């Protein structure tokens, strides 16, 4: 029982860490001379490394908001899990925890989808997607599975 | 002894200001403007000396991507001389006040070709040692939305919705509990306390 609990918490924490790293690190798109992420477009052209803030475009701000919201919801879900662990009746389901975690995974998915669709607008098409972008896509199924486990799980003892 | 001291202090006062002499020029860092609008580029300086009659202001312009800069404005001998051959002919106007150390210029009817760096250099004889200061001009079709406005709006809206849902949930629970309590008591016809009493009185 304790092992299962530990496993679930580790899964949740892993999804949360992936979300954090993906949102903050500057590697959503990488090319030979530049890298950009949700917050900056950095490039090394004409002898100098300079970054422009990603203010151009309403969609990039929507992606920023969705990623931040997914982190917030995942946090709230972790907090609610520990609350419900101690206050739930025997046989009860961690329903609210699961709902928040599933919502977080949906936010990550919509953020990644919007970024995929709109990225030709603000980075050249020739550049490849970076590893932070891939982390976002990995965090989505992890969070979804974690949320579903919470919804199915019943409290024992 | 006293005369030697007085002489030494006068000489020192004469020497020290020369070493701390340097003119400091202030312009903005970056200016944003819409196509077709006017913009005022300000330039002022700080100098330890009084503003002399021979103060000069000089503006030069280097387009984005160009290698060298061209001179577009010069103020000397009490008169301003604006660009009459270059890209700013008939569009540049001097709106500064040299007596108050203000050498600002007004650019009219901006276009995308005006993107670039404007450098102001001022001299206040005998205070002539100083670094010119540059301001970057960015011309937009429409003013871009500030970074973070939409982000904050979306986050605020979703969190507000969450709080609203929670509040409504607890409110519904509270109201349903009240009604259920009232219903069961009136069914059994017992005299209640508190709320039920007030309900029957009504």
Q: Which residue has the higher pLDDT, B38 or B195?
A: B38
A103: number of Cβ within 10 Å = 20
When pLDDT is averaged across residues B177-187 and rounded to a whole number, the result is 62
Q: Which of A54, A56, A65 sits opposite B154 (nearest CB)?
A: A65
Residue B20 has pLDDT above 80, yes or no: no
Residue B198 has pLDDT above 60, yes or no: no
Whether chain A has a CB inside 8 Å of the CB on B143: the answer is no
- Residue A126's pLDDT is 65
- Pick the range with the lowest mean pLDDT from B44-53, B67-76, B138-147, B153-162: B138-147
- Residue A110's pLDDT is 93
Q: Which residue has the higher pLDDT, B34 or B161?
A: B161
B33 to chain A, minimum CA–CA distance in Å?
15
| Residue pair A25/A67 in contact by the 8 Å Cβ criterion | no
- Residue B85's pLDDT is 86
| Residue pair B155/A68 in contact by the 8 Å Cβ criterion | yes
Q: Which of A55, A69, A72 sits opposite B147 (nearest CB)?
A: A55
Q: Which residue has the higher pLDDT, B107 or A30?
A: B107
Residue A80 has pLDDT above 70, yes or no: yes
Distance CA B152, CA A64 (A): 9
Cβ-based burial of B45 (10 A; exposed 0-12, middle 13-18, buried ≥19): buried
Nearest by Cα to B135 from B25, B46, B37: B25
What would the DSSP string read from start to end of chain B?
Answer: -HHHHHHHHHHHHHHHHHHH--EEEEE-SEEEEETT--EEE-EEEE-SSPPPTT-EEEEEEEETT-SS-EEEEEEETTEEEE-SSSTTTTTEEE--BGGGTB--EEE-S--GGG-EEEEEEEEBTTB--EE-EEEEEEEESSPPPPTTHHHHHHHHHHHHHHHHHHHHHHHHHHHHHHHHHHHHHHHHT---STHHHHHHH-
Distance CA B158, CA B41 (A): 42
Nearest by Cα to A151 from A94, A74, A77: A94
- Residue B201's pLDDT is 44
- Say if the Cβ atoms of B147 and A65 lie within 8 Å: no
B157-163 contacts, C-beta under 8 A, 24 or more apart:
B158/A65, B158/A69, B159/A69, B159/A72
| Residue pair A67/A107 in contact by the 8 Å Cβ criterion | yes
B63 to chain A, minimum CA–CA distance in Å?
16
Residue A29 has pLDDT above 50, yes or no: yes
State what percent of residues in chain A have pLDDT above 90.
Answer: 26
Instruction: Quote the radius of gyration of chain B (alpha carbons, Å).
Output: 35
* pTM exceeds 0.80: no
B135 to chain A, minimum CA–CA distance in Å?
17
SS3 A90: coil
Distance CA B87, CA B95 (A): 19
Tokens at residue B132, please?
Answer: 């010119």
Whether chain A has a CB inside 8 Å of the CB on B166: the answer is no
């Amino acid at each position: 029982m304790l092992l299962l609990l530990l496993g679930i918490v580790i899964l949740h924490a892993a999804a949360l860490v992936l979300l954090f790293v993906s949102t903050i690190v500057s590697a959503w798109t990488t090319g030979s001379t530049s890298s950009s992420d949700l917050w900056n477009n950095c490039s090394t052209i004409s002898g100098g490394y300079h970054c422009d803030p990603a203010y151009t475009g309403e969609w990039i701000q929507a992606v920023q908001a969705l990623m931040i919201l997914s982190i917030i919801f995942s946090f709230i879900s972790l907090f609610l899990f520990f609350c419900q662990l101690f206050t739930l009746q025997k046989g009860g389901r961690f329903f609210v925890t699961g709902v928040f975690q599933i919502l977080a995974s949906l936010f990550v998915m919509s953020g990644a989808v919007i970024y995929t669709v709109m990225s030709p607008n603000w980075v050249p098409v020739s550049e490849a997607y970076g590893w932070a972008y891939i982390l976002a896509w990995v965090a989505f199924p992890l969070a979804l599975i974690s949320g579903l486990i919470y919804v199915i799980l019943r409290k024992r003892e | 002894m006293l005369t030697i001291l007085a002489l030494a202090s006068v000489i020192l006062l004469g020497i020290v200001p020369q070493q701390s002499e340097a003119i400091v020029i202030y312009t903005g860092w970056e200016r944003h403007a819409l196509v077709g609008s006017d913009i005022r580029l300000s330039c002022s300086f700080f100098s330890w000396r009084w503003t002399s009659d021979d103060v000069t202001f000089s503006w030069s312009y280097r387009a984005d991507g160009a290698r060298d800069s061209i001179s577009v404005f010069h103020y000397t001998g009490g008169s301003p001389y604006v660009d009459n051959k270059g890209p700013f002919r008939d569009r540049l106007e001097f709106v500064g006040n040299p007596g108050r150390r203000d050498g600002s210029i007004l650019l009219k009817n901006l276009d995308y070709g005006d993107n670039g760096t404007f450098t102001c250099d001022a001299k206040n004889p005998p205070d002539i040692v100083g670094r010119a200061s540059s301001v970057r001009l960015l011309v937009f079709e429409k003013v871009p939305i500030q970074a973070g406005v939409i982000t904050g709006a979306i986050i605020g809206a979703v969190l507000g919705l969450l709080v609203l849902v929670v509040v409504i949930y607890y409110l519904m629970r509270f109201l349903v509990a009240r009604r259920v309590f009232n219903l069961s008591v009136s069914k059994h016809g017992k005299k209640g306390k508190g709320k039920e009493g007030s309900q029957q009185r009504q």
